[in-house]
Amino acid sequence: MRRLSRRHLLGSSAAVGGLGLLAACAPGSETGSGASDGGGSGPAASDVETDPAAMGEITLKVWDQEVRGAQNDAIESLIDAFEKEYPNITIDRVKQSFDDLQQQSGLALSGNDVPDVLQVNNARGDMGEFVKAGQLTDLTGYAEAYGWEERFPESVLSKMRYSADAVTFGKGSLWGLPQTGEVCGIFYSTKKLEALGVEPPTSWDAVYSLVETALEAGELPIKLGNLEQWPALHVFGPLQAAFVPTDDIVKLAMGNEGADWTSPENLEALTQLADWAGGGALGDSPNGLAYDTAWAEYTEGDGVLLIGGSWLGPDMEAVMGEDLRFMAPPEGADGTIATTGGTGLPFSIPAAAANADAAAAYIDYITSDSAMELIAEAGGMPVLRTAELSPDSGVNKDIYEAFDKVSIDGVLLPYLDYATPTFADTAGSALQQVIGGESDPEGAAAELQTDYVEFTAED
């Protein structure tokens, strides 16, 4: 809920905990008839059956985390359409929260009863580890057979590429395909801003001033529920770009050498987060408030701003209506608009899937041009044709325009949990401790740097 979706996104300790067994326990499956060889490699394009009607009677097991209103509506509509067009294929869908899916994925992939389609977070701690353990199917042959590399820009596909040994991230084979785009930005209540006598901020200084004005007026400036630890990264990611050059953030987030978490710029960003938390800008106890509870309370009027992912827009708009707006963060340290974002969690095919060809046909169907239209109609943000499918008004218009603005004129930064197999837990814990006052920025930076350096040294 990578997507957590994501994103939608972190909390990977359970998944990582099960990964140590994967290489030894990974079951193979019979080759032929669209089944993967169980070792991570996929079929050549010439061996792929692309006509679902010719695949016989199949029950396709699909696991996803598209559980929120607009997400669920789009997937359900696409499944209904797929089953009507191909009545020989029945979709057995298991939907669960991002955290639950992440916890179950490692166990499922090391067992004998794996789903045929599985949403997998792009991060090294999830997709990277599964690739390294031979648990996912290389989709390169399917991409050629279906023309995915012509349909999707490389900037999108690169976020699902790993070398077979998972050392290189961003290049290599393709291991998943996304439906939706995501961007972290600033939700705000127009009524709250009007009551405070302020305009939507156009600079980070204006954001800081707005926070102080809200505190003085007795309003909660920024709503945050960080019980699960990962939500803080969706606040810190945009904030980090206000201080740190984007090239450095990309290196840090992709687990590539050449950057430093203990740099003065990163310490400034962590200090700003600590100041917000210590001054009450994030509420009395954000670390004790669940993510879904927080955004629901925001829709009822508790908070002026909510810094988070675009996927929240449709459900919050259902309550707040035209009062809810969204904006990309102001220009950052590079003088460009930069913020955390990317794609929704990609759909992958486990290496031991029984019906790999049917799984690929399903993935192709739910990422088609017509699927992009349906996703937009349901209130989600398609990863393709975004500007073309932008709605005429409402918060989704804001979101589409922000995504377009960041991805074209600015920098869409990787999620920080991509960095290393353990970084989701490291960063989630470190930021939670900074917010709770249990750690200072210097201590948190050192902890983040240790994880990053140990991983990049291994490469």
- Domain residues for the domain of 448 are 182-342+411-458
Mean pLDDT of the region 383-394: 89
Domain presence at residue 268: yes
pLDDT (mean) for 132-152: 96
**In a shared domain, residues 98 and 246:** no
**Residue with the two structure tokens 């969706």:** 234
337 and 348: one domain? no
**pLDDT-above-90 percentage for the chain:** 70
Query: Are residues 223 and 99 part of one domain?
Result: no
Residue 399 domain-assigned (yes or no): no
Does residue 450 surpass a pLDDT of 70? yes
**Tally of CA atoms within 13 A in the half-sphere of 117 that contains its CB:** 28
Count of domains observed in the chain: 2
Q: Do the domain assignments include residue 233?
A: yes
Query: pLDDT tens for residues 416-437?
Result: 988 998 999 999 999 999 999 9
Reply yes or no on whether the pLDDT at 229 is more than 70.
Answer: yes
Distances, alpha carbon 386 to alpha carbons 344, 347, 399, in Å: 14, 19, 10
**DSSP string covering 303-320:** -SEEEEEGGGHHHHHHHH
pLDDT > 90? residue 117: yes
Residue 396 near residue 379 (C-beta atoms within 8 A): yes
pLDDT at 283: 96
* Lowest-confidence pick of 164-178, 194-208, 405-419: 405-419
If asked whether residues 187 and 322 sit together in one domain, one would say yes
| Whether residue 237 is found in the same domain as residue 248 | yes
The closest of 243, 248, 251 to 271, measured between CA atoms, is 243
CA nearest to 232, candidates 9, 20, 395: 9
What is this structure's pTM?
0.75
Residue 14 has pLDDT above 70, yes or no: no
Band of pLDDT at residue 367, cut at 50, 70 and 90: very high
Chain mean pLDDT for the chain: 89
* Any domain includes 7: no
One domain, residues 109 and 238: no
* pLDDT above 80 for 189: yes
Judge whether residue 174 has pLDDT over 60. Answer: yes
Least confident of 29-33, 119-123, 386-390: 29-33
Residue 354 and residue 312 share a domain:
no
Q: Do 274 and 201 belong to one domain?
A: yes
Report, as an integer, the average pLDDT of 286-299: 98
Tell me how long the chain is.
Answer: 459
Clarify whether residues 242 and 320 are in a common domain: yes
Task: Confirm if 267 and 439 have CB atoms less than 8 A apart.
Answer: no
The residue ranking higher by pLDDT, 5 or 340, is 340
Burial class (CB in 10 A: 0-12, 13-18, 19+), 43: buried
Residue 402 lies in a domain: no
Q: How confident is the model at residue 7 (pLDDT cuts 50, 70, 90)?
A: very low
Q: In terms of pLDDT, which residue wins out, 329 or 24?
A: 329
The Cα–Cα gap between 147 and 143 comes to: 6
Mean of pLDDT values over 132-158: 93
Q: Is residue 176 part of a domain?
A: yes
Same domain, 176 and 28: yes
Can you give the pLDDT at residue 459? 59
* Residue 88 located in a structural domain: yes
Q: What is the pLDDT of residues 67-78, one digit of tens each?
A: 877 789 999 999
174 and 192: one domain?
Answer: no
CATH of the domain at 326: 3.40.190.10
Residue 31 pLDDT level (bands cut at 50, 70, 90): very low
Residues 101 and 134 in one domain: yes
Asked if residue 168 is part of any domain, the answer here is yes
